Amino acid sequence: MSAVGGASGGSSVGSGGAVGSASAVSSGDAVRSASAASDVWRFAARRAVELAVTLLAASFLIFSAVYLAPGRPETFLLGGRSATPEALASIRAHYHLNDPFPVQYWRWLTQMAHGDFGTSIQYRAPVLHLLTARLPGTLMLIGMAAVLVAVLGIGAGRLSARRPGGLVDQAVLVVTSVAVGTPSFVAAIVLIWVFSVRLGWFPSIGSGSGFFDMAYHLTLPALALSLYWVGTLARVTRAAMLAELSKEHVAVARSRGIPERIVLRRHVFRNAAGGIATMSGLTITGLVVSTVLVESAFGLGGIGAFLDSSVSVKDFPVVQAISLLIVTVFVAVNLVVDLTYPLLDPRVRLGARNSA
Amino acid sequence: MNTAQRSQTPQKSQTLHIRGLRVSLPGTARPVLDGVDLEVGAGQTVALVGESGSGKTLTSRAALGMLPAGATASGVVEVDGQDVLTMDARALRRLRTTTAAMIFQDPRAGINPVRRVGDFLTEALRTNGAADKRTARKRALALLDAVGLPERVLRQYPHELSGGMLQRVMIAASLMADPVLLLADEPTTALDVTTQAEIIALLRDLQSRFGTALLFVTHDLELAAVIADRVAVMYAGRIVETGPAEQVFADPKHPYTAALLAATPRLDAPAGRLAVIPGRVPDLRTEIAGCAFAGRCAHAVDACGQERPETAAVPDRSQATVACWRSSTLTLQGGASRG
């Protein structure tokens, strides 16, 4: 049974009579479903190995980047005071800063593998605690931004594709150009000025407490965070739908008297969903990275702002842990997107890359 | 138009009636369809034959009101007595769902790859409220049986079927609402030879069983002679010859028909080179004063290039026409083994 089964392999199913080809299809079905189940496991196993290798490589890069960056953490620890060479040496010894690079890396790696994310130099507290305290706000911000991107981005793209070149389409193109061209920190400043300073509708700082208060406090940050990705996803959705609109099966659907809104939903948007899903995956990771800028601009005490402040004081353990966290999110989101492909397009099968 | 009125007299009503159809595209010097007249009677099979670019696909699509974006059309297109060119979107949808249906050339491209075959079959009936789920499914099963496919195909995806099976699905889908007119646009071109023969046999069988009129668009004259009662030969947006299939094939009256027949490769005359028609179909950017074929015609005289030939009845032949200044004086070679 061919892996993708479709485009080329289909004709091999049977060019004889209907009866002959019918039985060929039925035996093929059994093979297909049995191998599909084992495919999922093989796929999952392979991705787990890939995840481990990716994290290992990323950990090495992150550790070396922090190690090679100019500036020394002990300078921050001393807070600008001058210290005796003895004091300096004891600090360096305490944080193992005198060990050679491979030894430092190995110690860090084995600690991470045991779930020990180390101790923050800046706060002298376990990194894990510091992160979990800041996680809810950041997760909520990313969640709100993701919903905005999905609703506004895909919605605008669909509106655009309904009548390409029309008034709505042109308006969407202009608005998305502005959205894509505006950096999130600039958007943050404009939003604060208009909605907090001038209109006073939203707070300009802080992340609030309790679900609704948090949602209220995070509205402007989520808008600033999502703007670029709304524009990008709208354009990707539009392009994917236009590509699908010119396909012959759409002309066939119209020739059969199927109402236009159903043609757009079932035959255009549905078929464009694969490309839109890929872009949505990239969007999530992009949002995670952009929180660094947006949380700082709105004075939110989340993971992003924490990374920002930790980098500036050379708080190695925190920078490394957050960087690894971002890499993990990236790999995980891609895995989820890959797993949705077979649901979006029956021609795609997990692990097809291996057996093809 | 008096021709339109004539077609509405009850005793002579045609399933497809096209009179003086003229379709122009923006940025072209002459119309793509330049006064097409075509009739398909109830239950009749008519083959529309011509080279690529002659306008045959456009003619068949006009019967469903499917014109290219920006095209302007004049003339009369009637399906089952209803005027297609003046229909609004709603009426067009009803026409396409219940009265006429098209079978497309490439079923692999024409059927949505991410939806199940069952959805494809029942979709048109269900989305227009013409049938509920159970009725539509029952109808789909009956038609799958009629085209020789098993029930399980309903749950399968297009990529799990062969091209021939998919074209059977396409044919079954076209018959879902029991239309009076089927339009088949080169339905076998994308298939391999053995499958082609099966599909043609199936189409003939279903067409007589369901009493559907069929307009069969093809570039293959031999195939046209096999399947059709009548043939209409098209060149550069005009119908140049019509008539009963066997007679047109055996004794063509238009030099273009004869040239097409001579250019058809055949197995029983292996010796000698294949005849080709010199030149090419005139491009849409040039205007044509006289006969569109004059520039490539072996029998052309000066007059041919100056005035457009009238469409005239062929003497001693029923419902046959030819548009050629010289046809009454010419003796043309017909198709080989058939006459």
Tokens of B69: 């974006």
- What sign has the CA pseudo-torsion B132, B135, B141, B142? negative
Q: Which residues from chain B sit within 8 angstroms of residue A28, using beta carbons?
A: 160
Summarize pLDDT for B33-77 with one digit per residue, the tens: 998 999 999 989 999 998 888 899 999 999 999 998 889 999 999
* Of A236, A239, A238, the residue nearest A279 (C-alpha): A236
Least CB–CB distance from A271: residue in B112, B156, B198? B112
Residue A59 domain flag: no
pLDDT at A350: 64
Per-residue pLDDT, averaged over B263-292, amounts to 74
- Domain with residue A179: its CATH number is 1.10.3720.10
Which residues of chain A have a CB within 8 Å of the CB of B171? none
Rounded CA-CA distance A318/A324 in Å is 10
Q: pTM of this prediction?
A: 0.79
pLDDT score at A33: 52
Q: Distances in Å between the alpha carbon of B131 and those of B103, B111, B112, B137, B139?
A: 21, 21, 21, 9, 10
pLDDT at residue number A13: 34
Residue A258: list chain B partners with CB under 8 A. Answer: 93, 123-124, 127-128
Per DSSP, chain A holds a count of helices (H) and strands (E) of 15, 0
Q: Do A25 and B156 touch (CB under 8 A)?
A: yes
Residue from the list B128, B161, B168 with its beta carbon closest to the beta carbon of A257: B128
Q: Mean pLDDT across the stretch A51-64?
A: 86
Chain A interface, Cβ < 8 Å to B: 4-7, 9-15, 17-19, 21-22, 25-26, 28-29, 247-249, 251-260, 262, 266-267, 270-271, 344-347
Q: Select from A15, A258, A346 the Cβ nearest to the Cβ of B127.
A: A258
Residue B82 near residue B95 (C-beta atoms within 8 A): yes
CA–CA dist B49, B328 (Å, integer) = 22
| B297-310 pLDDT, tens digit each | 888 888 888 888 88
**Residue with the larger pLDDT of the pair B289 and A80:** B289
pLDDT at B336 over 80: no
Partner-chain contact B162 A21, CB within 8 Å: yes
Residue A5 forms part of a structural domain: no
Question: Where exactly are the structural domains of chain B?
Answer: 2-6+15-228, 235-266+277-329
Encoding tokens for residue A79? 């807070």
**Which member of A10, A257, A267 has the closest CB to residue B94?**
A257
Radius of gyration of chain B (CA): 21
Contacts of A297 (CB under 8 A, 6+ apart): A184, A185, A188, A189, A192, A221, A224
Q: Is the pLDDT of residue B133 over 80?
A: yes
Give me the pLDDT at residue B215, please: 95
CATH superfamily of the B2-6+15-228 domain: P-loop containing nucleotide triphosphate hydrolases (3.40.50.300)
Domain total of chain A: 1
Q: What is the pLDDT of residue A188?
A: 83
What is the band of A6 on the pLDDT scale with cuts at 50, 70, 90? very low
In a domain, A49, yes or no: no
SS3 letters across chain B: CHHHHHHHCHHHCCCEEEEEEEEECCCCCCCCEEEEEEEECCCCEEEEECCCCCCHHHHHHHCCCCCCCCCEEEEEEEECCEECCCCCHHHHHHHHHHHEEEECCCHHHHCCCCCCHHHHHHHHHHHCCCCCHHHHHHHHHHHHHHCCCCHHHHHCCHHHCCHHHHHHHHHHHHCCCCCCEEEEECCCCCCCHHHHHHHHHHHHHHHHHHCCEEEEEECCHHHHHHHCCEEEEEECCEEEEEEEHHHHHHCCCCHHHHHHHHCCCCCCCCCCCCCCCCCCCCCCCCCCCCCCCHHHCCCCCHHHHCCCCCCEECCCCCCCEECCCCHHHCCCCCCCCCC
Interface test with A, best of B61, B127, B151, B169 (most A CBs within 10 A): B127
ipTM: 0.84
User: Given CA atoms A249, A250, A251, A257 in this order, what sign does their dihedral have?
Assistant: positive
**Residue among A1, A4, A12, A15 with most chain B CBs within 10 A, to mutate:** A15
Q: pLDDT, tens digit, for every residue of B192-225?
A: 888 888 888 888 888 888 889 999 999 888 888 8
Tell me the count of A-B CB pairs closer than 8 A. Answer: 131
* Inter-chain CB proximity B64 and A255 less than 8 Å: yes
- For position B167, what pLDDT does the model report? 92
CA angle, B252 as apex, B246 and B253 as ends, to 5°?
Answer: 130
Is residue A265 in a domain? yes
Average pLDDT, chain B: 86
Nearest-by-CA chain B residue for A248: B110
Of B284 and B337, the one with more pLDDT:
B284
- Residue A248 and residue B162: Cβ atoms within 8 Å? no
Give the residue with greater pLDDT, B216 vs B29: B216
Q: Which amino acid type is present at position A72? A: R
Distances (CA, A) of A183 to A87, A177, A283, A295, B152: 44, 12, 15, 14, 54
The pLDDT-based confidence of A7 (bands split at 50, 70, 90) is very low
Which B residues in the span 72-111 are in contact with A, Cβ-Cβ below 8 Å?
89, 92-98, 101-102, 104, 106, 108-111
pLDDT exceeds 60 at position B1: no
Average pLDDT on B16-34 reads 90
Residue B195 to residue A270, Cβ atoms within 8 A: no
Q: What is the DSSP letter of A9?
A: G
State the Cα–Cα distance between residues A81 and A99, nearest whole angstrom. 24
The whole-chain average pLDDT of chain A stands at 80
Higher pLDDT among residues A8 and B101, named by residue: B101
Mention every residue, 6+ apart, whose C-beta is less than 8 A from residue A110: none
**Chain A environment of B124 (Cβ under 8 Å):** 256-258
Q: What is the mean pLDDT of residues B25-34?
A: 88
Structural domain that includes position A264:
73-355
Over residues A186-217, the pLDDT tens digits come to 888 888 888 877 887 877 777 677 778 788 88
Q: Is there a contact between B287 and B29 (Cβ–Cβ < 8 Å)?
A: yes
Do B110 and A254 make contact, defined as CB atoms within 8 angstroms? Answer: no
* Subunit contact B159:A6, Cβ cutoff 8 A: yes
Asked whether residue A48 carries a pLDDT value surpassing 60, the answer given is yes
- Note the pLDDT tens digit of each residue in B98-127: 899 999 989 999 999 999 999 999 998 888
The total of other beta-carbon atoms located within 10 Å of residue A178's CB is 11
Task: Give B-chain residues touching A22 at CB under 8 angstroms.
Answer: 149-150, 152
CB contact under 8 A, A266 and B109: no
Contact status, residue A225 vs residue A217, Cβ threshold 8 Å: no
Cβ contact, residue pair A26, B152, below 8 Å: yes
User: Are B290 and B304 within 8 A, CB to CB?
Assistant: yes
B164–A346: do the CB atoms touch at under 8 Å? no
Confidence label for A37 from pLDDT (cuts 50, 70 and 90): low
- What DSSP character marks residue A195? I
Residues B175, B188: Cα–Cα separation, whole Å: 17
Q: What is the DSSP letter of A140?
A: H
Residue A69 has pLDDT above 80, yes or no: no
User: Does the pLDDT at position A23 exceed 50?
Assistant: no
- What lies within 8 Å, CB to CB, of B10 at 6+ separation is none
Determine the pLDDT at residue A34: 52
Q: Rounded to whole angstroms, how far apart are CA atoms A260 and A339?
A: 31
Best CA proximity match to A157, nearest among A270, A284, A269: A269
With CA atoms as reference, report the closest residue to B21 among B69, B55, B68, B70.
Answer: B55
Q: Which of A5, A270, A345 sits opposite B160 (nearest CB)?
A: A5
Distances (CA, A) of A17 to A138, B165, B190, B194: 61, 9, 18, 10
Dihedral, CA of residue A187, residue A193, residue A194 and residue A196, to nearest 10: 110
Of A239-243, A251-255, B190-194, which gets the smallest average pLDDT? B190-194
Q: Which of residues 186-215 of B touch A (CB under 8 A)?
A: 192, 194-195, 198
Contact at CB, B112 and A255, closer than 8 angstroms: no
Touching check for B66 and chain A: CB below 8 Å? Answer: yes
